[in-house]
Chains A and B, each alone.
Chain A
Amino acid sequence: MKKVVIILLLVLPFILIYFISVTGRILEKYSHIYVESLKIQDLEDNDIIPNKPNEIRVGNSKQFKIVIGPELASNPSVLISCYNNDICSYTEENGILTVTALKYGQTTIIVSSVDRTNITASFIVKVIDDVPTGLQFAQKEMTAMPGKTYDITPPSFIPSTTKEQFKGLVWESSDEEIVKIVDANGGRIKALKEGEAIITAKSTFNSEIFATIKVNVTNQKFTDVYFDYYDTSAYVVNDKEFNLYSIIKYSDNFMNQYPEEERTNQYFFKLETNVSGVDVSKLSDGLIVFDDSKSVILIKIGIYMVSDPDSQVDLITIVFNKK
């Protein structure tokens, strides 16, 4: 009997431990509080996030609160996944989800309960950046002379804060036989023959963003003041003195606007080239004096309007060719 008691006493602790363990499991099973809801809350305004884009600027972070219901859920752990980890990264700590925007684009973050994986919440993260939304040429049209090369001022990006990295352009011509693109990534064109061509500058960021400028290739001139010379060859002068006014023409509109004595005050000439052997001290009088000890001197003279001294309205290449 004594032995039996001793054996029972020895066995009893094990039975008790087993019983406690089983009881604990049963209790755990019945006391487990399941996750019933999962919501994402914007920490800035406490709004529950519907499934709409949350805009975050590149480099910035935004915090969201993962609200697990009920609050006392046994296992509030969540799994977080993102469709595109290139666009944003995320960290989660104590129910606070911090999303950091990496790259322009849009993706979705999905938060799901570990306890019940069918309970999920997702929201769209729209990473915003200073990307172009439009392009605009300062001018819609320009004229060009056959045989001449021009640099078109690139269109301005909209918004003006567009980052440099998004500012690539590709240039195209609607008719390469009329206007040739000399540099596909720059605005250099060459007019080949008379006609019209539409030059398109497309954003390399998004080819649906583009701007166009119409290039009229013609030998005619449309500015108020221009040189009465249309040939692509240089204008040859043989005498050492040459008066630019001898080849100046005005538009009818200009002539109507200004009486004769006032016309020359509306524009000025500018020597565009750095060559020796040309005296332009009397350029304001239209006079160019060449050094006749030289046989050939090439110069370029531009016309500028006083009202807009930065814009050249015509340009001529003059060559002094001593006979």
Chain B
Amino acid sequence: MSNQPVCWPATRNTTAWLVWVLATAALALTIRNPLYITLIVLATWLVHVQVARNTPAAANWSGLVRLGLTIWLIAIPFSALMNHQGETVLFRLPESWPLLGGPITAESVAAGAASGYSLWALLLVFATFNLAVDAAVMIQAMPAFLSQAGVITTIALTFIPRMVQDTREIREAQRIRGHRFRSWRDSVPLAMPLLTTAFEHAIQLAESIESRGLSARTMDLSARRTRLVRGALALALLALLAGLVVRLVGPPLLGNALVAGAALVLMGAFYDLERHARRTRFVHQVWTRADKAIVAISVGALAVGLGTAWARPDLTGYAPVDAASLLPAFSLVPGIAVTLLALPGLLGALGANTAPTGSEAPQ
């Protein structure tokens, strides 16, 4: 596997992808300024094009992008009709019309376009991520303490094609018997055999799991330690609840301390479970220089973006109230920072696919 030329981006480190998507999505959520959003869209689009080139499923994901585009186009008239803020009046609707009545302004159209644009950018970011990392790799990347959820999801993903096949066979068998599917009422004769078959499959699966001695227990925990971990989880959730309430009605410092303490206990419990998890890995992900660069650039861009949003909200926000404020502000440093999010796409375009074994190395 490692001797063959590998196909970009299937070999890119999943954690690097996760960091990239979290940073890009957080910026798309935080920034409203359409100029910066355009840079995020262009950066993501470059990555998307590189990813889609090597993924047969690209056509499916482009549907999500088109859906985002439709939502964007809907957001503009919605904002224009519902939000009457601004000085540049394009036309007026009768004041007597509930909610819709009033002036339709260029500022409200621009605000709607900017809002829909951010949403579309967010969808594009996640469409690219969904395309780049397949379900099996995502499940592998799940922490070991969530392995039960991972196993259930794996079973579900494995059974879906089988259920589709079962549906086809049951429908064929019903047709041979003379049953005709004319309305939604006819779905019962299809659904019941399908569910029964699914349950029989589940029993066979459970029996094969047990007969191989695998059981469903994935932790090497003594009874005492199990009780301790569960107690810690319950206590942490209770502290989290108390912390959130105290933050609202009591001294914020105490509330923050409780929330932080609860988060620490939860992380400690997760870490303990992670340590005791029995997990066999046949492949391990390797960190290449490119992966490390993607992580560093993503974290840096996020820090610059959030820092700018905190220090200069006028730069990252966009709320036009008159003709002068229709043109968004711009500064070079955050612009460069968000543009650097195109790095995974640039690496792909430059042929980083053959770089020092980005592949998963058998252990």
Tell me whether A and B are bound partners. no
Binding site for B on A (CB under 8 A): none
Binding site for A on B (CB under 8 A): none
